[in-house]
Amino acid sequence: MQKRKQVLFISFFVILLFPFLNGKLHLIKSGQLQGYFTNADDVDFSWDKWFDATFAKNKSDYINDHFGFREDFVRLSGQIDFTLFTKVDYGSAVISKDHNLYYDNYIDDYIGKDFMGYDTIAHIMKRVKAIQDTLSHLGKSLIVVYVPSKAFYNAESMPEIKKCYLGGKSNYSLFLKLSDSLHINNIDLNSWFISLKGKTQDSLFTKQGIHWTWYGAFLGGDSIAKYIEKLKNISLPHPTFTKIEHTTKAKGTDNDMATILNLALPVANETFSYPEATYDTSKVKQKLNIIFIGDSFVWTTLENGFMSNVYKEWQFWFYNKEVFYNKNNPHARDAKMENYDWKKAIEKTDCIVLMNTTASLKSIGSGFIDNAYEYYYPRK
């Protein structure tokens, strides 16, 4: 009996000690956590830090972020919360009972919690109208695209506590209303996607992702191209699906929300769709140079090859901070906006598209609207 107690004690001690040893010796490497994390740096001892208590705190933070098997314990803790309590540990993530994942900011826009107010939005859209008119005189087009939002598309599945709709006063509804009343070129893909719910063969949103699917991005991108055709009276290539791969393995952003939760098991079992497309260029007489300024929804139209096959030259100004235009590697940043001659780029383009989902309308243009307005309408 005494021997058993000793064995149990030693085993328990080794179990407690092993994470510490692995943190120091790196005997077994755990898989990296996904998402945004900041790990605390180690701190050198000094009496000043000791007496002002910063040494103890900084050292504790460092040990907490670097102990052995930390990543595995994070996954285990998250999985327990998810499985037993349908709870997610990632700050702004929200999950519904049917395991649909959302970001808080998408829901905040849907219920009108982050409503900017009429005066603010009217000021923005009056400037957009002025820029559109100037570009039109220069033979160029400006288009505002309202990208689909999962919160609107799957509103019925949101958690009950988040479904209190505040009378329709959302940024999206007012932006859309002013776009129409000011005759601003705009495409409301959000309403269109809602009308397509249950009518498409493949999913437009997944449970595990926050962005539109590859299939949805093809539909949305093609709708933008068709709008440009009518606006500029030209013909552009359009995708024809040769086949659609159906798989349980996600690509791109189809499970981006589930990935950052860092769970040990999948959030949901679902089938993802990945079309392969050809493009008919026989009727195309002119291919456009185009600039997209917007949020992360643009990425999917780059990754699925749509942009490179439809437009002559494309640029993506990601939140108007970074510039991407590399066809061979769309994710290779080509320049920072602060070092980029954006005025010259506009001179060479045929069309500028402001492309935001409803949650990012608060930062529509990300400074481009004010910069372009000041450029075309300098103050006296």
Write out pLDDT tens, residues 303-327.
888 999 999 999 999 999 999 987 7
Number of domains in the chain: 2
Q: Which alpha helices (H) appear in the chain, and where do they start and end?
A: 2-25, 47-51, 54-66, 70-85, 104-111, 118-137, 150-153, 171-181, 189-196, 214-232, 256-261, 297-303, 306-310, 342-348, 368-376
**How many other CB atoms are there within 10 angstroms of residue 318's CB atom?**
18
Same domain, 67 and 195: no
Q: Could you tell me which residue, 109 or 82, shows the higher pLDDT?
A: 109
**pLDDT of residue 280 exceeding 80:** yes
Output the CA angle 30-34-37, nearest 5 degrees.
Answer: 100
Asked, for residue 91, whether it belongs to a domain, the answer is no
Contact of 328 with 139, CB cutoff 8 Å: no
**Domain boundary, last residue among 48, 80, 112:** 80
Evaluate whether residue 90 is within a structural domain. Answer: no
| Domain-terminating residue out of 45, 80, 115 | 80
> Would 85 be classed as within a structural domain?
no
SS3 120: helix
pLDDT above 80 (res 198)? yes
To the nearest 10 degrees (0 to 180), the angle between helices 118-137 and 171-181 is 40
Report whether pLDDT(87) > 80.
Answer: no
Residue 362 lies in a domain: yes
Q: Are 346 and 105 in contact (CB under 8 A)?
A: no
Domain identity same for 159 and 246: yes
Render pLDDT for 329-347 as a digit per residue (tens, 0 to 9): 776 678 898 999 999 999 9
Nearest CA-CA partner of 256 in 248, 267, 247, 245: 267
Does 117 lie in the same domain as 75? no
41: helix, strand or coil = coil
Does residue 31 fall inside a structural domain? Answer: yes
Structural domain of residue 51, as residue ranges?
2-80
Contacts of 169 (CB under 8 A, 6+ apart): 112, 115
Whether 92 is covered by a domain: the verdict is no
Same domain, 280 and 342: yes
Structure tokens at 171: 């940024």
214: amino acid identity, one letter: W
At residue 161, does pLDDT exceed 60? no
**pLDDT, tens digit, 9 for 90 and up, residues 215-260:** 999 999 999 999 999 999 999 999 999 999 999 998 888 988 877 7
Residues 6+ apart with CB under 8 A from 191: 146
Compute the distance between CA of residue 162 and CA of residue 95 in angstroms, rounded to an integer. Answer: 10
Residues 133 and 29 in one domain: no
Instruction: Please report, for residues 94, 166, 358, the alpha-carbon distance to residue 162 in angstroms, rounded to integers and kept in the order given.
Output: 9, 11, 16
**Taking all residues of the chain, what is their mean pLDDT, rounded to a whole number?**
83
pLDDT of 113 reads 84
Element (H, E) at 64: helix 54-66
Of 354, 357, 356, 358, the closest CA to residue 173 belongs to 358
Do 209 and 289 reside in the same domain of the chain?
yes
333 and 246 inside one domain: yes
**pLDDT value for 41:** 64
CA 303 from chain centre, in angstroms, equals 13
**Do 251 and 365 sit in the same domain of this protein?**
yes
Domain boundary at 30, 50, 80, which? 80
Output DSSP code: residue 377.
S
Regarding whether 263 and 337 lie in a shared domain, the answer is yes
Amino acid at 72: D
pLDDT in tens, 103-123: 888 888 888 888 999 999 999
Q: Which tokens go with 155?
A: 């509103």
* Residue 86 counted as domain residue: no
pLDDT tens figures, 175-194: 999 999 999 999 999 999 99
Q: Where is 242: in which H helix or E strand?
A: strand 239-247
User: Global pTM?
Assistant: 0.81
